[in-house]
Amino acid sequence: MNDSSDIIIVGGGMVGACMALAAAREGFQVTLLEPRQPSLEWTGDDFDIRVSALTRTSETILRNLDVWHSMQQRRATAYENMHVWDRKGFGEVHFAAEDVGAPNLGHIVENRVIVASLWEQITHQANIKHVADVEIVSIEREGDQTKLIASNDDVLSASLVIGADGARSSVRELVGLTASTSSYDQEGVVCTVKAEQGNASTAWQRFMPTGPLALLPMNEEYFSIVWSTSPEQAQSLVNASEESFNLELTQASEAVCGKLSVVGERAAFPLRKLKAERYVLDGVALIGDAAHVIHPLAGQGVNLGFLDAAMLMDVLIEARAHRESIGAMGVLRRYERARKGHNLAVQSAMDGFKHLFSNNNPALSLIRNLGLGVAHHVSPLRRQFERVALGEGVAVPSLGKRL
Ligand SMILES: Cc1cc2nc3c(=O)[nH]c(=O)nc-3n(C[C@H](O)[C@H](O)[C@H](O)COP(=O)(O)OP(=O)(O)OC[C@H]3O[C@@H](n4cnc5c(N)ncnc54)[C@H](O)[C@@H]3O)c2cc1C
């Protein structure tokens, strides 16, 4: 097979599918590589244990791509409050949508809902070709074309190849874009739980010495949880009986919503940090987790990825209007300049939070012992946290603005 298009996107997860749809709607011919088309069926009977807390800017991007409505028809839960604390009675930080004049602070959406809603639109787009079974073995640049050579000698070429193939990006590896990685020495335990007293449309975040526990509201009485803790404790939480897991979790949440009871499976994901040194090369760009992976505290990963896709889109449209090659290094550098600083800033802010509350932080121990708690010392960071949660303080690409 010899296939040629304007843009090849490797990876059709949340970020790659968003990029493919955005590019196709602007008239680019897109080839999308993804091992399998995700299921579009929806019964809503059970919950996906992987969810995303989407900012209002991500909502706007997905609205502008005509995806939001179908996500809401499946399941998307708006949350109006966020409550951050370390120990009951030791100060807490609460912020509400009404404080910032917004109807909500964002939505919690299952990853499979986001992916299925994007792919539903993709299937209606005649200028996206989905290729499922290709194993890329090398990537070469020839003139103004980037060529993907497959293990069966098929060649796919395009002016631009976008790596949206996640943290273990093979595009990044094959073109030799280096990335620094490190482990947080934590795993994130994820599952869905039912709350005895309902979720109060509130995202709860407790900072414990072992790591943060996030309770993200779903419907009225469920939470999707991300409990970041040591790998040993994570494994023991996953393997514990439901009864003892429920007990430990309810205690860890200080029963702010009453007893919590697990529904369905539990899993633990190792938490790693990754920063690609460069996001672009002649004819190649990285977006989403292929370029940056951050701590799931405050759930920002996919929001940054959507901003990458939307910003790259702006740059490509501008290049086309000026008759520049969309794969030219000068063009792609504009994307990198627009996104890398913000991604690094959010990454550092999340690391700052994590370290501030970690076990071996002497300043925090003192704060705790003095009984001052989270509120006093977090307030300088509070506004930053709000801005990050709301997706503010960033150059907003066209798709992130209300059309
Ligand atoms: C425990 C946990 C909780 C999280 N919670 C949140 C949250 O609340 N909010 C948030 O914003 N983020 C959250 N994240 C992060 C978020 O899940 C990621 O940022 C997001 O999945 C990145 O999307 P992506 O499309 O870039 O990559 P991925 O989701 O990794 O998708 C990559 C895609 O590429 C495909 N692929 C891979 N290799 C190839 C190949 N060689 N050829 C073709 N296709 C390929 C894969 O099949 C996949 O579909 C969380 C992460 C963890 C671990």
pLDDT at 385 over 90: no
Rounded Cα distance, 193 and 162, in Å? 37
Copy the structure tokens of residue 270: 């190792």
CB 270 near ligand 1, within 6 Å: no
CB 52 near ligand 1, within 6 Å: yes
* 3-class SS letters over 51-72: EEEECHHHHHHHHHCCCHHHHH
Determine the distance separating the centroid of ligand 1 and the alpha carbon of 341, expressed in angstroms. 21
Per-residue pLDDT band for 215 (boundaries 50, 70, 90) equals: very high
Rounded Cα distance, 299 and 271, in Å? 13
CB 212 near ligand 1, within 6 Å: no
The per-residue pLDDT for range 249-262, each reduced to its tens digit, is 999 999 999 999 99
Determine the distance separating the centroid of ligand 1 and the alpha carbon of 65, expressed in angstroms. 20
CB 187 near ligand 1, within 6 Å: no
| Residue 397 parent element (H or E) | none
Test site for ligand 1: of 289, 297, 303, 306, most ligand atoms within 8 A of the Cβ:
289
Q: Are 264 and 47 in contact (CB under 8 A)?
A: yes
Average pLDDT on 95-100 reads 85
CB 305 near ligand 1, within 6 Å: yes
Determine the distance separating the centroid of ligand 1 and the alpha carbon of 33, expressed in angstroms. 15
The per-residue pLDDT for range 314-330, each reduced to its tens digit, is 999 999 999 999 999 99
CB 288 near ligand 1, within 6 Å: yes
Torsion, Cα 32 33 35 40, to 10 degrees, reads -10
Rounded Cα distance, 377 and 238, in Å? 33
pLDDT, residue 386, reads 61
CB 57 near ligand 1, within 6 Å: no
pLDDT, residue 365, reads 53
Determine the distance separating the centroid of ligand 1 and the alpha carbon of 290, expressed in angstroms. 9
Determine the distance separating the centroid of ligand 1 and the alpha carbon of 12, expressed in angstroms. 10
CB 34 near ligand 1, within 6 Å: yes
**189-193, 218-222, 310-314, 387-391: range with lowest mean pLDDT:** 387-391
pLDDT at 33 over 80: yes
Average pLDDT on 362-385 reads 53
The per-residue pLDDT for range 135-145, each reduced to its tens digit, is 999 999 999 99
Burial level of 360, CB count in 10 A (0-12/13-18/19+)?
Answer: exposed
Average pLDDT on 355-367 reads 57
CB 165 near ligand 1, within 6 Å: yes
Determine the distance separating the centroid of ligand 1 and the alpha carbon of 86, expressed in angstroms. 29
What CATH number should be reported for the domain whose range is 2-46+57-76+111-181+274-400? 3.50.50.60
CB 269 near ligand 1, within 6 Å: yes
